[in-house]
Amino acid sequence: MKSENSPKREMTKLTRRGLIWGLAYISGIFGIFRFLDKSPNAKGITQPFRKAQGLNEKLWEKLFSPSRRVPEYSKDRVTPERFNETIGMEEDLDPDSWKLLVEGVHGASKPVIELTMKDILAMPVTEMTTEFFCIEGWSVIQTWKGVLMRDFMNRYPPDTLSGKKPDLVNAAQDLVPYVAMTTPNENYFVGLDMGSVIHAQTMLCYEMNGQPLTEEHGAPLRLVIPVKYGVKNIKRLGKIQYRKDRPADYWAQQGYDWYAGL
């Protein structure tokens, strides 16, 4: 019987080839998930979050739009506060010696600008009630008061790539692309993309739920950046650097997604 090249035989071959490719594809996918499963597990990050990370890092830049606002709530939705972690806050805070250093300011006469809380309190005030998500799987709704980074950057604008005068609204792509923020002792440090820093709800915060920020929540000044997970909301801020190169980040060094976007 010469059935070797009969159409039916060809069909079977094709189907079998399809099946083999299909199996290879499926086992490839399982391989990726097995790999993610073995990925760093510091801080007890939950499995679904971990699986989303690889994807997150690649898509974040493409999907992120600075005009996309997170929901704001009425104050009766505020939940009990919760605090977490104090890296970079090892020494007791001395409010009198605290200052905020700012580097990379366009047109500045000095490489490092030093600000006090008095300077911060003199800037436009904003209040917002937003949800705060820790990567460990819990969230709280809190009222935050402070200075929007947008307003801060109007006064202290970042350097531009072209050297031209910065235009936060119409030429944000010409701003240096990154911002580094650290505690005064530099034990905790976060790296941020400029798009998230100029986001309309990113705030230098000094008051929480109508009270001055407590020491454990990051007095005298912390970052509240609702488009990012808790890890990027640095407490006891000591230094802001506008930068061309991507800054180091405490939790990214432990294997977390550098963007940590929501």
Ligand X SMILES: Nc1nc2c(c(=O)[nH]1)N[C@H]1C(S)=C(S)[C@@H](COP(=O)(O)O)O[C@H]1N2
Footprint on this chain of Mo ion (rule: CB under 5 A): 134, 230
- By beta carbon distance, the residue nearest ligand X is 230
The CB-of-84 to Mo ion minimum distance in angstroms stands at: 5
Query: Is the Cβ–Cβ distance between 147 and 201 less than 8 Å?
Result: no
The CB-of-131 to ligand X minimum distance in angstroms stands at: 12
The CB-of-13 to ligand X minimum distance in angstroms stands at: 56
How many angstroms separate the CA atoms of 34 and 48, rounded?
A: 13
Binding site for ligand X (CB under 6 A): 82-89, 134, 183, 188, 217, 230-231, 233-236
Q: Is the peptide bond before 66 cis (omega within 30 degrees of 0)?
A: no
The CB-of-216 to ligand X minimum distance in angstroms stands at: 6
Could you say which DSSP state residue 175 is in? B
- Provide the H-helix boundaries in the chain: 7-37, 47-63, 117-121, 149-155, 194-197
The smaller minimum CB distance to Mo ion, of residues 218 and 230, is found at 230
The smaller minimum CB distance to Mo ion, of residues 12 and 139, is found at 139
| Strand-pair category, 100-103 with 239-243 | parallel
Contacted by 233, from ligand X, Mo ion, none: CB < 5 to 8 Å by type: ligand X
Contacted by 240, from Mo ion, ligand X, none: CB < 5 to 8 Å by type: none
Return the structure tokens found at 128.
Answer: 């917002």
